[in-house]
């Protein structure tokens, strides 16, 4: 199915660009209520041509190509459903892994598999996980796009059976409400009430099931404004930047705790990632 | 159950003695969560790790999820009121045009900024202010017509200055940053934002 994708996706990319230009011009002329409607329409149209497909294709290559000192592929990586099973796996993470004796989100598990299967040291695999403006997507981003795509349509079922999974959720919930930094911001500042906006950006109330489902279901996502696929780890990292907190380390325990909190709140939702966003 | 007994219980469970003990879950204490949080962040540019140390107001608001008790409200408002510094020269109003620039700017104090970045107030992120700006948030109330509705008597000037300086003085566990107390804006920037809200010539009051 992926073999016919490039020309189709290129045509889609052009369509996306044209739509973006048209909608941008249209929206500016409207009053605010209408602007929100226009943005909703723009987002709906974008779903039809998602450049994330191209990123996922490269991720598939990376997944299946022998790499690292051990010259191994990632195909035997166990994402919780058994070695080599990726269908629906992302929708059931973060989860406890007995071999690592810890709870891992997908991106943490990827770093683990790169280490154990391919012999790539975690410090090296974790270096620069997010692509900069105009840069090519990183390997971590591309592989994440490929794996999350295999969960499209899968029900979100982040487990809470192991005590460490429960502890991760509980810590994530505490951190969600923790105010800090010079601006006194917490996650809850923006994400614990209904119908809130920053400028025109609507903010999901992540303490409620429906908005939490939608948020978890749509990340990783292709960000049109940045021309890049962004992962859940990036999403959290950039929230904390705007919260004026220090730098949230990639795949840090607190990041996994917050993703667990969000994921459990989102249980029962259906994965739509990689989605496409403004 | 502390960690050691839990571990002992799990070892016992592995030996097939008390299987139920392993599924026992003790919620993490605040200290345990804090240790995990502190191990997860690093300093970058101007954003140092001391930002993870909570002050008293942050602690109460976190622990109560922004629902402080009556006693806590009184305590927070007292602490916050004590931080307010009114302008030494008694001049409350600056230039509304400069104030509009402060209200529009959302940069400053992030790890993507540096010590040369001029901090913005990012007021439009949460408030409607000048009607011409249609891209505004709604976490805070609309401030359009702020001065027209209230005038600029001394109590109004002092209240507004204090609200910008440390919002908790009037609303404990407010979501608004402490622009003066936390040194986000300079005194002159606050004067300019004050003018945007209160100067009769400001577009806010047309």
What is the rounded average pLDDT for all residues in chain A? 89
* B91 and B162 fall within a common domain: yes
CATH number at residue B188: 1.10.760.10
Q: How many domains does chain B have?
A: 2
Q: What is the percentage of chain B residues whose pLDDT exceeds 70?
A: 89
- Structural domain for B19, as ranges: 1-40
Most confident of A18-22, A64-68, B18-22: A64-68
Chain A residues with CB within 8 Å of chain B CB: 31-32, 35, 163, 166-167, 170-171, 174-175, 177-186, 188-190, 192, 195-201, 240-242, 244-249, 252-255, 257
pLDDT at A278 over 90: no
Q: Which residues of A touch B24 (CB under 8 A)?
A: 163
Q: Determine the pLDDT at residue A49.
A: 74
Nearest CB neighbour to B138, from listed A166, A196, A249 = A196
Q: Which residue of chain A comes nearest to B104, CA vs CA?
A: A199
* B21 and B49 fall within a common domain: no
Are the C-beta atoms of B174 and B168 separated by less than 8 Å? yes
Q: Which residue of chain B comes nearest to A255, CA vs CA?
A: B40
- Give me the DSSP letters along B97-140: HHHHHHHH---SSSTTS-TTPPPP--GGGT---STT------SS
**Structure-block tokens of residue A241:** 């930047």
pLDDT at B14 over 70: no
Q: What is the percentage of chain A residues whose pLDDT exceeds 90?
A: 79
Q: Which residues of A touch B112 (CB under 8 A)?
A: 241
Give pLDDT tens digits for B31-65. 999 999 999 999 999 999 999 999 999 999 999 99
Most confident of A39-43, A118-122, A271-275: A118-122
Interface test with chain B among A181, A185, A192, A241, by most B beta carbons within 10 Å: A181
Nearest CB neighbour to A246, from listed B23, B42, B62 = B42
* B95 and B25 fall within a common domain: no
Are B41 and A246 an interchain contact pair (Cβ–Cβ within 8 Å)?
A: yes
Q: Determine the pLDDT at residue B23.
A: 59
- Among A40-49, A80-89, B14-23, B78-87, the range scoring the smallest mean pLDDT is B14-23
Chain A CB within 8 Å of residue B30 CB: yes
pLDDT at B82 over 50: yes
pLDDT, mean of residues A134-162: 97
A23 belongs to the catalytic site: no
- Going by C-alpha positions, the residue among B108, B147, B103, B94 that lies closest to residue B125 is B103
* B36 and B61 fall within a common domain: no
Give pLDDT tens digits for A199-222. 999 999 999 999 999 999 999 999
d(Cα B192, Cα B95) in Å, to the nearest integer?
5
Give pLDDT tens digits for B164-196. 999 999 999 999 999 999 999 999 999 999 999
* B122 and B161 fall within a common domain: yes
pLDDT at A134 over 90: no
Q: Name beta bridge partners: A247.
A: B42
Give pLDDT tens digits for A34-77. 777 777 777 777 666 788 999 999 999 999 999 999 999 999 99
- Among A45-59, A68-82, A94-108, B113-127, the range scoring the smallest mean pLDDT is A45-59
* B131 and B185 fall within a common domain: yes
* B64 and B107 fall within a common domain: yes
Are A163 and B111 an interchain contact pair (Cβ–Cβ within 8 Å)?
A: no
* B13 and B51 fall within a common domain: no
Q: Which residues of A touch B183 (CB under 8 A)?
A: 182
B25: pLDDT confidence band, cut at 50, 70 and 90?
Answer: confident
Q: Determine the pLDDT at residue A125.
A: 96
Chain A CB within 8 Å of residue B62 CB: yes
**Structure-block tokens of residue A36:** 């929100």
* B59 and B134 fall within a common domain: yes
* B28 and B69 fall within a common domain: no
* B145 and B75 fall within a common domain: yes
* B34 and B73 fall within a common domain: no
ipTM of the complex: 0.89
pLDDT at A244 over 50: yes
């Amino acid at each position: 199915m992926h073999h016919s994708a490039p020309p189709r996706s290129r045509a889609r990319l052009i369509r996306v660009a044209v739509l973006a230009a048209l909608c941008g011009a249209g929206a500016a002329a409207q009053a605010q209520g209408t602007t929100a409607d226009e943005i909703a329409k723009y987002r709906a149209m974008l779903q039809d041509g998602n450049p994330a497909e191209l990123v996922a294709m490269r991720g598939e290559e990376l997944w299946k190509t022998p790499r690292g000192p051990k010259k191994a592929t990632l195909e035997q990586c166990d994402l919780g459903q058994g070695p080599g099973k990726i269908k629906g796996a992302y929708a059931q993470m973060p989860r406890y892994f007995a071999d690592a004796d810890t709870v891992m989100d997908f991106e943490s598990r990827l770093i683990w598999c790169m280490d154990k299967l391919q012999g790539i040291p975690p410090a090296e695999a974790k270096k620069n996980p997010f692509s900069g403006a105009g840069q090519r997507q990183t390997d971590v981003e591309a592989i994440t796009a490929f794996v999350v795509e295999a969960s499209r349509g899968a029900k979100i079922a982040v487990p809470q059976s192991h005590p460490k999974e429960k502890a991760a959720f509980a810590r994530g919930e505490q951190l969600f409400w923790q105010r800090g930094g010079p601006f006194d911001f917490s996650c809850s500042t923006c994400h614990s009430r209904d119908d809130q906006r920053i400028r025109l950006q609507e903010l999901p109330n992540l303490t409620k099931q429906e908005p939490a489902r939608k948020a978890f279901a749509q990340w990783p996502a292709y960000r049109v404004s940045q021309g890049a696929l962004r992962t859940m780890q990036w999403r959290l990292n950039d929230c904390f930047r705007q919260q004026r907190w220090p730098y949230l380390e990639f795949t840090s325990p607190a990041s996994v705790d917050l993703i667990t909190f969000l994921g459990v709140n989102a249980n029962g939702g259906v994965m739509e990632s990689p989605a496409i966003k403004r | 159950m502390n960690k050691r007994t839990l571990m002992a219980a799990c070892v016992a469970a592995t030996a097939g003695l008390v299987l139920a003990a392993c599924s026992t879950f003790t919620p993490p204490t605040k200290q345990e969560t804090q240790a995990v949080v502190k191990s997860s962040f690093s300093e970058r540019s101007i954003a140092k790790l001391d930002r993870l140390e909570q002050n008293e107001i942050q602690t109460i608001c976190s622990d109560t999820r922004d629902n402080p008790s009556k006693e806590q409200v009184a305590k927070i408002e007292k602490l916050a009121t004590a931080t307010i510094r009114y302008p030494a020269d008694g001049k409350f109003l600056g230039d509304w045009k400069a104030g509009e620039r402060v209200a529009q700017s959302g940069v400053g104090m992030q790890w993507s900024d540096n010590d040369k970045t001029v901090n913005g107030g990012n007021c439009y992120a949460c408030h409607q202010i000048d009607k011409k700006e249609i891209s505004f948030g709604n976490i805070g109330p609309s401030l359009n017509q702020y001065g027209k509705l209230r005038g600029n008597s001394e109590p109004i000037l002092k209240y507004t200055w204090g609200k910008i300086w440390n919002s908790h003085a009037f609303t404990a566990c407010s979501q608004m940053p402490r622009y003066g107390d936390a040194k986000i804006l300079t005194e002159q920037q606050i004067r300019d934002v004050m003018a945007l809200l209160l100067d009769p010539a400001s577009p806010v009051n047309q």
